[in-house]
Chains A and B, each alone.
Chain A
């Protein structure tokens, strides 16, 4: 395998990883601050993609489409928080899982009712179309480079928000002691709605960004949702930093595993069998990674000690 191919695959892994991060950040934030398991986070990803496809179809502007994805997902998140989620904080995790699973079904069928059963069209904008040449003769799609940039910018922005602003102080304070933060005069329900909407907006942004190179269709959020859960478990539930490290780890592991394992197995068995065994094992790799991390650090890489 050539060096160029390897570097390209590492870039692919990074790109996959930063998108997972944008998705998982909201999930881990919501779990950390509110203690809520939100299975419907993937639905917000879908809403972002559908909003972007709709606005891009009407206006032709990709930037407007991204803005729409943020706004639509944040609005949907805020509404869902006020109407449903708010009643779940005090309940146990099983109730939360059941209720948010119901939300998935409602969002999926609602989206189908609005947009129909066929996938929607959303494309890369013209100004990011096609590959660019990187040093060393690597051809890499400009759009994917842009995704890496946006993902890192989101990570930086979230870090600044959490570490440097009053909202960030409240979020971190709320994570450790919500009763006390209320006793200090912080309107905890408003804070929760805000955090939930923020997480939703990020999921929506991820949906729109990824929707341009994948398919915008009902149910698109569930597979990525599972990966996002893997990420926050590896990273340590509630930790943004953990989510970033874990997403990059999962992204690179998954991408390189899928490429390298079949090659590795081909050294010791027939090519066609190596292909089957290698890709089967590659699809399990991130779960194996999760298991190993949990054995070594039961609360995840950056999780608070239980």
Chain B
């Protein structure tokens, strides 16, 4: 059975609502249409690849498209919890959607395994024993970028991010680790596509480096315009603007940029090598950060299924906490708030043949946990 048929079967199962003989029923809510669909598709494909490779036939996955809209995500979650009676929810890419869905899902006794979004509200006081984040807390990659800036000897960074909670967290995260001065600090508009004004300000400043967090199309626009502006200060950012899905659209403009990530396709461990190879064979493209996170999420779930019944919540939760699975990142462990404690690497954008991709050049933070863990009380 190929993954495509699995996905189709999952969707059909959701449509026909026939009860298959599955021991674990997973509801995946992710973004499959609209502007951010590339991320959701990668999460889904990574997740389903792991399910297929496990060879288990006791996992039923219901996949639905949230269209990147919180209200749609909430409706889907309600349906999955109430009519489909799923055991586990997963898949959400965006923090605002996660904030709309997760608190109510865990309050109804479901497990939520986050393959991407890690808002601080769910890591600190709002943490929940049934909520696990397999990717990162939102601040982590920005913190690593700040740490890298210190290592690279930058003392005057110009930093920018969109004016919304994750953007503010990003600048906060960078500043948490970064020791130097700020040559400038700008909040752009969410969804902004033209950065000429910001680039002019960077040009006019006396900064020695640029840090930016501009996910999705915003990052593509910024990088292309920056490369064309003649400003040649070194650029640092989190992996989101340099990931496999969008690097081809940025092209040579991204070459040489350093970015921080907990995963890279050249991480040298057997799980990752096998993952990259099988993902490419199955889907005909290189996996992204998001695909690796989807893959790890499924493998974490499967590892828990090996030792515990999902209906025995305490046992299953303990099995998840143990995180006894082979992660594409190598070592993987959960902190006390069910968020990862992991290494975060520095990657550099390179060109391999026709393909733009990343290679690891350094490790910015080792066994790094998030800043909110202490506030979490189960």
> Which A residues fall within an 8 A CB radius of B?
1-2, 4-5, 8-9, 12, 15-16, 108-109, 112, 117-121, 123-124, 129-131, 139, 141, 143-144, 210, 212-220, 223-224, 255, 258-259, 262, 271-272, 275-276, 279-280, 282-283
Chain A residue with the shortest CB-CB distance to B194: A16
**Structural contact, A5 and B245, CB atoms closer than 8 A:** no
**Structural contact, B249 and A118, CB atoms closer than 8 A:** yes
**Structural contact, B196 and A15, CB atoms closer than 8 A:** yes
**Structural contact, A131 and B230, CB atoms closer than 8 A:** yes
> Which B residues fall within an 8 A CB radius of A?
33-35, 37-38, 41, 163, 168, 185-189, 191, 193-194, 196-197, 200-201, 203-204, 216-218, 220-221, 224-225, 228-230, 245-246, 248-253
Nearest-neighbour CB distance to chain A for B289, whole angstroms, equals 14
Question: Is the contact region of chain A dominated by helix, strand, or loop, or is it mixed?
Answer: helix
Choose among B35, B201, B220 the residue that contacts A218 (Cβ–Cβ < 8 A): B35
Cβ of A112: which chain B residues have Cβ within 8 Å of it?
Answer: 33, 37
- Given A139-B230, A213-B228, A218-B37, residue A275 in contact with residue B187 (CB < 8 A): yes
Nearest-neighbour CB distance to chain A for B140, whole angstroms, equals 22
CA of A142 to CA of B329 in the docked complex: distance in angstroms?
43
Choose among A117, A121, A130 the residue that contacts B37 (Cβ–Cβ < 8 A): A117
- Given A130-B228, A214-B224, A217-B35, residue A279 in contact with residue B163 (CB < 8 A): yes
**Structural contact, A5 and B38, CB atoms closer than 8 A:** no
**Structural contact, B217 and A213, CB atoms closer than 8 A:** no
CA of A118 to CA of B34 in the docked complex: distance in angstroms?
11
Chain B residue with the shortest CB-CB distance to A262: B186
Q: Please indicate which of the listed interface residues B38, B200, B201, B251 has the most CB atoms of chain A within 10 Å of its own CB.
A: B200
**Structural contact, A276 and B193, CB atoms closer than 8 A:** no
Cβ of A12: which chain B residues have Cβ within 8 Å of it?
Answer: 194, 196-197, 200
**Structural contact, A279 and B189, CB atoms closer than 8 A:** yes
Chain A residue with the shortest CB-CB distance to B252: A123
Chain B residue with the shortest CB-CB distance to A120: B249
**Structural contact, A216 and B249, CB atoms closer than 8 A:** yes
Choose among B186, B200, B249 the residue that contacts A5 (Cβ–Cβ < 8 A): B200
**Structural contact, A217 and B249, CB atoms closer than 8 A:** yes
Choose among B185, B204, B221 the residue that contacts A2 (Cβ–Cβ < 8 A): B204
Cβ of B221: which chain A residues have Cβ within 8 Å of it?
Answer: 213-215
CA of A170 to CA of B32 in the docked complex: distance in angstroms?
45
**Structural contact, A131 and B204, CB atoms closer than 8 A:** no
Nearest-neighbour CB distance to chain A for B351, whole angstroms, equals 13
CA of A129 to CA of B224 in the docked complex: distance in angstroms?
11
Q: Please indicate which of the listed interface residues A117, A129, A259 has the most CB atoms of chain B within 10 Å of its own CB.
A: A117
Question: Is the contact region of chain B dominated by helix, strand, or loop, or is it mixed?
Answer: helix
**Structural contact, B217 and A119, CB atoms closer than 8 A:** yes
CA of A259 to CA of B251 in the docked complex: distance in angstroms?
29
Instruction: List 23 A-B pairs, Cβ < 8 Å.
Output: A8-B200, A8-B203, A9-B197, A12-B200, A108-B34, A118-B245, A119-B220, A119-B245, A121-B250, A121-B251, A131-B230, A139-B203, A141-B225, A213-B221, A214-B224, A215-B224, A217-B217, A258-B189, A259-B197, A259-B200, A271-B185, A279-B187, A279-B188
Choose among B41, B186, B193, B203 the residue that contacts A117 (Cβ–Cβ < 8 A): B41
Choose among B41, B224, B252 the residue that contacts A213 (Cβ–Cβ < 8 A): B224
**Structural contact, B197 and A121, CB atoms closer than 8 A:** no
Cβ of B252: which chain A residues have Cβ within 8 Å of it?
Answer: 123
CA of A218 to CA of B32 in the docked complex: distance in angstroms?
12
- Given A2-B204, A118-B249, A214-B220, residue A124 in contact with residue B193 (CB < 8 A): no
Cβ of A123: which chain B residues have Cβ within 8 Å of it?
Answer: 224, 251-253
Cβ of A120: which chain B residues have Cβ within 8 Å of it?
Answer: 249
Cβ of A212: which chain B residues have Cβ within 8 Å of it?
Answer: 224
Nearest-neighbour CB distance to chain A for B87, whole angstroms, equals 29
CA of A123 to CA of B204 in the docked complex: distance in angstroms?
25
User: Closest 3 CB pairs between A and B?
Assistant: A215-B220, A119-B249, A131-B230
Cβ of B194: which chain A residues have Cβ within 8 Å of it?
Answer: 12, 16, 213-214
CA of A178 to CA of B250 in the docked complex: distance in angstroms?
47
**Structural contact, B228 and A272, CB atoms closer than 8 A:** no
Nearest-neighbour CB distance to chain B for A108, whole angstroms, equals 7
Q: Please indicate which of the listed interface residues A120, A129, A212, A275 has the most CB atoms of chain B within 10 Å of its own CB.
A: A275
Nearest-neighbour CB distance to chain B for A38, whole angstroms, equals 20
Nearest-neighbour CB distance to chain A for B45, whole angstroms, equals 11
CA of A8 to CA of B205 in the docked complex: distance in angstroms?
14
CA of A218 to CA of B196 in the docked complex: distance in angstroms?
22
